[in-house]
Amino acid sequence: MRTNIHFIVNPIAGKGKNELSEALLETYFPKTEFSVSIKKTKFVQHASALTKTSIEEGAQIIVACGGDGTINEVASCLVNTAVILGILPMGSGNGLASNLKIPKNVKKALAIIKTQKVIAIDTGTINDKPFFSNTGVGFDAHVIADFEESTTRQLFSYVKSTLRTLKNYHYKNLVELKYNETTELISPFLLFISNSNEMGYKMSLTPRASLQDGLLDVVVVPKLSNFKLFLFAILFFFKKHHWLKEVRFKQVTALEIKSLDGSILKAQKDGELFFPKNPEIEILIHPKNLNVCVL
Ligand SMILES: Nc1ncnc2c1ncn2[C@@H]1O[C@H](COP(=O)(O)OP(=O)(O)OP(=O)(O)O)[C@@H](O)[C@H]1O
């Protein structure tokens, strides 16, 4: 029987104008062995709808062609199923692809899918909504909120959003954190929860995170003075932010975050803005419930 592979292409991810030609795919997936289908997304959440249809059509491998946002939409439909996720990195940051060592070169990434070597990876949820790379309710969420106003989706836009957010950031949310039988109160600058060891562009707040250890890596940074903030930014760039004593790392299977003034916290998941429906947030890890094609 032929292997049924569906490619879901986000044309606006990364530099935009992403295309995938049938002719190129046929050189990797000959019609005698593979049945191949290409679908293009037309709007936000379309990748999710297309994936659901592909599952009904009997796809065995569904390839997310885009960045972490596209992977999120596709993979959210594949957790706890036998359908395998493939990745063609076409995004800006491509954090998850980079952690999985899937190259940006389309031909090399297609060759990986062709080998059909599969591993099971952990996935996370924030109030029952899946994430695969990372989520957060601090500074990162505010950067993403600013970034979503940008007209381009490249590194420069992230840098501009980060600088603008740094200038205007207010520490207004006092939150209660519960993890590993500990409870603490904090007004966080950063509350970043990661499944992956990379955020994109080779940057990482959690270099020790693993996609297969059954744990989420949490970075907690409290309110910082402007000088410490500057220091944090420089150290982060050189992956030395752990040198600051204010930067704390935790490994958890579950984390509860409660906004004490009852407000809804601004969050990001896999680089997309997300508003939890209530002031309590529950973040969980789900060990090895997603199959992914890897090198
Ligand atoms: N045709 C479209 N028009 C507008 N938005 C789209 C379209 N197709 C998909 N999207 C949305 O584009 C967003 C960005 O996608 P994605 O995250 O894959 O790219 P990226 O942000 O450039 O990469 P990365 O997350 O790796 O930095 C997603 O929220 C997705 O829903």
The structure tokens listed for 147 are 């970034």
Q: Is residue 182 part of a domain?
A: yes
Q: Is residue 179 part of a domain?
A: yes
Average pLDDT of the segment spanning 93-99: 94
CATH code where residue 86 lies: 3.40.50.10330
**What's the confidence (pLDDT) of residue 169?**
83
89 lines ligand 1 (CB under 6 A): no
For residues 155 and 146, give the distance between their C-alpha atoms in angstroms, rounded to a whole number: 14
Contact call for residues 206 and 197 (beta carbons, < 8 A):
yes
- Kindly give the distance from the C-alpha atom of residue 153 to the centroid of ligand 1, in angstroms, as a whole number: 9
Q: pTM score, two decimals?
A: 0.95
- Kindly give the distance from the C-alpha atom of residue 69 to the centroid of ligand 1, in angstroms, as a whole number: 6
ipTM greater than 0.85: yes
Residue 140: pLDDT band with limits 50, 70, 90: very high
Q: If you compute the radius of gyration of the chain from its CA atoms, what whole number of angstroms results? A: 19
For 29-45, write each residue's pLDDT tens digit.
999 999 999 999 999 99
**What's the confidence (pLDDT) of residue 156?**
87
Quote the longest CA-to-CA distance of the chain.
63
99 lines ligand 1 (CB under 6 A): no
For residues 123 and 211, give the distance between their C-alpha atoms in angstroms, rounded to a whole number: 8
130 lines ligand 1 (CB under 6 A): no
For residues 202 and 155, give the distance between their C-alpha atoms in angstroms, rounded to a whole number: 11
Backbone phi and psi for residue 195, each to the nearest 5 degrees, phi listed first: -95, -30
Examine the domain organization and report whether 196 and 222 are in the same domain: yes
Checking if the pLDDT of 167 tops 90, the result is no
The number of distinct structural domains making up the chain is 2
Q: CA angle, 123 as apex, 159 and 146 as ends, to 5°?
A: 25
Q: Which domain holds residue 112?
A: 3-116
Checking if the pLDDT of 10 tops 90, the result is yes
41 lines ligand 1 (CB under 6 A): yes
For a mutational test of ligand 1's pocket, the pick from 8, 10, 152, 155, i.e. the residue with the most ligand atoms closer than 8 A to its C-beta, is 10
Checking if the pLDDT of 219 tops 90, the result is yes
